């Protein structure tokens, strides 16, 4: 698993300012509110990551299952969450893969919305019960005029990994996701503190 840390956190100074605004709430209650806010962020983090990826890439939702893990850690600013994304590349067919038959130049796929590409000589077939986009491998020592490997070796074409999609586009998706989670944690912490204050009344 690869890691990047759009750490959904508020620093100690921010917590202190919030505490000053919420009269009558104990330090323990503030800590509990912060913990509850982190739990809420944890529940939302993975769905938000999938949504952010699919706003740019045509990957099927089912292909992202099991590709992300949310882990917690701590540093001088307190607890934070990290999104770990798989580096395993996904089958290209899952990105809108199409093939019009032997008379076409090859199969096509659309990794990003609005950018369909033709993969020369590629075709779609079933391998071990799964549909895949394939291309025949070429061999330097092939005696065939086409240069293709005489043993008809096939190579499955792949698209980007979950990690590459999250960190792609100049980290734009990762940065946007980090900002969303930071904002959500901030608003959720304020909500939890307001609830704690009501319980004191």
Q: What is the pLDDT of residues 123-154, one digit of tens each?
A: 999 988 999 999 987 665 555 555 555 556 88
54 shares a domain with 82: yes
112 shares a domain with 18: no
Taking the alpha carbons at both ends of the chain, their separation in whole angstroms is 47
pLDDT, one tens digit per residue, over 30-78 is 788 888 888 998 999 999 999 999 999 999 999 999 999 998 887 776 6
Question: Which residues, 6 or more positions from 193, have their beta carbon under 8 angstroms from its beta carbon?
Answer: 18, 22, 25, 30, 33
Of 15-19, 43-47, 162-166, 178-182, the least confident? 15-19
The continuous run of DSSP H or E covering 120 comes out as strand 117-120
Inter-residue contact 86 to 7 (CB < 8 Å)? no
Give the pLDDT of residue 106.
95
Average pLDDT, rounded, for the chain:
82
81 shares a domain with 14: yes
Band (169; pLDDT cuts 50, 70, 90):
confident
Report the pLDDT averaged over residues 3-20: 52
Band (179; pLDDT cuts 50, 70, 90):
confident
What is the count of structural domains for the chain?
Answer: 2
Q: Which two tokens stand for residue 81?
A: 């969450």
Give the pLDDT of residue 141.
57
172 shares a domain with 78: yes
> What is the value of pTM for the model shown?
0.76
Q: Range of 115's domain? A: 91-160
Band (1; pLDDT cuts 50, 70, 90):
very low
153 shares a domain with 54: no
Q: Which two tokens stand for residue 76?
A: 């001088």
The continuous run of DSSP H or E covering 47 comes out as helix 27-54
| Percent of all residues in the chain with a pLDDT value above 90, rounded to a whole number | 43
């Amino acid at each position: 698993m690869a890691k990047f840390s759009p750490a959904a956190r508020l620093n100690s100074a921010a917590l202190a300012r919030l505490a000053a605004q919420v009269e009558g709430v104990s330090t323990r209650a503030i800590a509990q509110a912060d913990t509850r806010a982190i739990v809420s962020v944890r529940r939302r983090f993975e769905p938000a990551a999938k949504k952010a990826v699919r706003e740019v890439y045509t990957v099927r939702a089912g292909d992202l299952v099991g590709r992300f893990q949310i882990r917690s850690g701590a540093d001088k600013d307190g607890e934070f969450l990290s999104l770990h994304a798989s580096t395993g590349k996904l089958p290209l067919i899952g990105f809108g893969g199409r093939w019009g038959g032997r008379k076409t130049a090859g199969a096509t796929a659309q990794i990003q919305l609005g950018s369909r590409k033709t993969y020369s000589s590629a075709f779609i077939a079933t391998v071990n019960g799964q549909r895949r986009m394939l291309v025949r491998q070429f061999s330097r020592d092939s005696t065939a005029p086409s240069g293709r490997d005489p043993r008809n070796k096939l190579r499955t074409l792949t698209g980007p990994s979950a990690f590459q999609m999250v960190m792609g586009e100049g980290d734009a998706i990762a940065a946007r996701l980090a900002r969303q989670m930071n904002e959500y944690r901030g608003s959720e912490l304020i909500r939890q503190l307001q609830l704690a204050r009501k319980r004191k009344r």
